[in-house]
Amino acid sequence: MAEAAGVSDEVQRPIFEGIPEPKSPDTVVLAPPMQSAPLPTPEQMLRYDYSADDWEDFTVEWVRALGQPYVRVQRMGGAGDKGADIAACLTLRGTKGEWHCYQCKHYLAPLVPSDAWPEIVKIFVAKVRGDYELPTRYVFVAPKIGTTLKRLLLDPEEMQTEFFEAWNKDKSTLGTNLEPAERSAVEALARSTHFSMFQPADMEWIVKVHSTTPHHVRRFPQQLPPRPAVELPPTEQGAQEAVFVRKLLDVYNEKHGLALQTLQEARDHQKTKEHLILQREAFYSAESLRVFARESVPPATYKAIENDLYHALYDVADGSYDNGYERLRHVLIAASGHQPNPANILAPVVTGLDKKGLCHHLANDDRLTWCKGEER
């Protein structure tokens, strides 16, 4: 076969080579309107709920997340797109240099060869007319690509053969609107081009890559998995609770005139042990919420719950009190009555104990304080 025109050895590399592993985007997940019925999967939403324009917008987001060294990704779809819905350019020369074409086809039925042939003709015509250089990759992006077209895309020589069978058959409409000289030029270009430039995009991988973007949770509402039961606090003090426990000891010492220095001393004292047990249970309840959120939603979703509570409590904590115990008591009462933002997907699983525990997490982070002048 003749050397591929305008196609470098680059086209032989898989399109997804070098894509980084998914990372959690810094995005707040919003709750879907209903949690009772199972939500459709992203694949189902993309296929049945999206318009052609929505599909192109989604594809742009996916292409930008591919990890390719694109200097520009431009949506071209619409009237006069000249065979390219999305142009992903590898140089500042744009489509006059090396670039990849992403052709978006949004049909309910699987994509078949007869859908692909007219699009292939368009890109050859654009090259003949000098509109673009021939892309080194031409990727069909569809919710579902039919078995026959998938098979052909795995066998470039057979695909080229079947393209010309369609091109030359009686009553073919491929290129029939071209002047004879231009149609001959398009045919010559197609014969000299290696059809390995034409590639499919797998839907499962598209969704996986798109899930690494901040757009994903906006487009596809998620249901939370069941939240595990909250375990009781450990007997020994954990490193993560050192600050919050120290602040509780300050409260007890100020209120009762004690000189407690350790968790065990507070646990053994008649005046403080019950209160301490309840506060640690609350702290670890909030800790279980934090771990559950870490494993279920992007980080900013949990931080939004925490920050919303902090702003609701700030004025309460900033009030004038006789001692730190009274400040703590009023803050805990206010926290119990606080309602998390219902748009946050975590809101339905936040318990009253979590909200009290979050007060201690905020104290642990030195955002709340109970005793005046307690900073050490």
- pLDDT tens digits, one per residue of 334-351: 999 999 999 898 999 999
Residue 225: inside a domain: no
Tokens, residue 321: 């009190």
Residues of the chain with pLDDT under 50: 1-14, 16-22, 24, 34-35, 374-376
Distance CA 284, CA 69 (A): 45
Q: What is the pLDDT of residue 295?
A: 85
Cβ(104)–Cβ(59) under 8 Å? yes
| Residue that has been written with the tokens 């489509």 in this structure | 95
Buried/exposed code over 305-330 (b: 16+ C-beta within 10 A; e: otherwise): bbebbbebbeebbeeebeebbebbee
Same domain assignment for residues 246 and 124: no
* Model pLDDT, residue 32: 58
Q: What pLDDT, on the 0 to 100 scale, is given for residue 2?
A: 41
Q: What is the pLDDT of residue 7?
A: 43
Asked if residues 142 and 107 have their Cβ atoms less than 8 Å apart, the reply is: yes
Q: Residues 253, 308: one domain? A: yes
Region of 203 (left: φ > 0; alpha: ψ -120 to 50; beta: rest) is alpha
pTM, entire model: 0.62
Instruction: Express each pLDDT in 65-113 by its tens digit.
Output: 998 999 999 998 666 668 899 999 999 999 999 999 999 999 999 999 9
CB 99 within 8 A of CB 110: no
pLDDT at 297: 82
How many domains does the chain divide into? 2
Per-residue pLDDT at 80: 65
Sheet with 99-104: strands ordered across? 72-75, 86-89, 99-104, 137-141, 198-200
Same domain, 286 and 153: no
* Longest Cα–Cα distance in the chain: 101
- The total of other beta-carbon atoms located within 10 Å of residue 109's CB is 10
Q: Indicate whether 371 belongs to any domain.
A: no
Task: Give the distance, in angstroms, between the CA of residue 62 and the centroid of all CA atoms in the same chain.
Answer: 10
Contact 353, 310 (CB under 8 A): no
Q: Which structural domain, as residue segments, surrounds residue 35?
A: 9-219
Give the model's pLDDT for residue 18: 47
CATH code at position 109: 3.40.91
Same domain, 15 and 157: yes
Residue type, 60: V
